Amino acid sequence: MSKTPVRSPKQESRLGMVRRARRINRELAEVYPYAHPELDFEDPFQLLVATVLSAQTTDLRVNMTTPALFAKYPTPEDMAAAVPEELEEMIRPTGFFRAKAKSLIGLSIALRDRFGGEVPGRLEDLVTLPGVGRKTANVVLGNAFGVPGITVDTHFARLVRRFGWTEETEPERIEAAVGAIFPKSEWTMLSHRVIFHGRRICHARRPACGACPIAELCPSYGEGETDPEKARKLLKYEMGGKPGQRLKPPAHFPGEAAAIKAMEEDS
């Protein structure tokens, strides 16, 4: 792949960085027009629970766990009354199940007692719930309520530093720095696109630089495999010809629904 080197972020002007960042967003929108949350959910409560469960595990593992969970505990009132040991056993596959069960019961009690059994649509309310930080709150706001938010997960934090958008490492500082670059209306979809790219191409350990559609815009090009053929073998999910993480993907998703066997193939 021929590639014009991007100037070091330290040499780049603020205006130049903003223009490059917005071009990256436009390019990613063309690569991932179907970008979406990869957690299966049908209402705000399900998305809230699934997002809490997604910490330190894959969305696929959560998607395989939640159908039975939501069948038994369809409402906050039901989950608030759960026997902790029974809830723990149901969510055991997602890891850290005792802490997660405590958070789920705690947030369900709070929803029942303080919010009339409804998930609130304001960040300042969501972050008061047990186990809910800004990342989880922004996921719920952006995808269940249509309120723009930036989701700073490990993929997002890694890529925005590789892209030279910020040198910050704390999630709230990253959120503020990136939010200042893009119009608020772009925040939710920007998050999906960057996270999709991080999961599929710009991996933590072996980024597939040689197969990256925005290589010419990235100052970190060369950190990973630059040979196009070798890089293509590193692609994951639908980019690599395999299913995504959703068991019930949206109609416009180009790949197939995930299968149980995919659990061990991707992370």
- Asked if pLDDT for residue 7 goes beyond 90, the answer is no
CA distances from 193 to 24, 188, 202 (A): 10, 9, 12
Whether the Cβ atoms of residue 223 and residue 205 lie closer than 8 Å to each other: no
HSE, side-chain direction, 13 A CA sphere, residue 198 = 19
Whether the Cβ atoms of residue 133 and residue 127 lie closer than 8 Å to each other: yes
What are the tokens at 171?
């999630």
What is the spatial distance between Cα 252 and Cα 267, in angstroms, rounded to a whole number?
23
Task: Give the pLDDT of residue 3.
Answer: 52
- Asked if pLDDT for residue 39 goes beyond 60, the answer is yes
Check residues 151 and 261 and name the one with the higher pLDDT. 151
Catalytic residue annotation: 135, 153
Task: Give the pLDDT of residue 80.
Answer: 98
Q: Chain-wide mean pLDDT for the chain?
A: 94
Question: What does the pLDDT look like over 76-92, one tens digit per residue?
Answer: 999 999 999 999 999 99
Give the position of tokens 């890694």.
Answer: 158
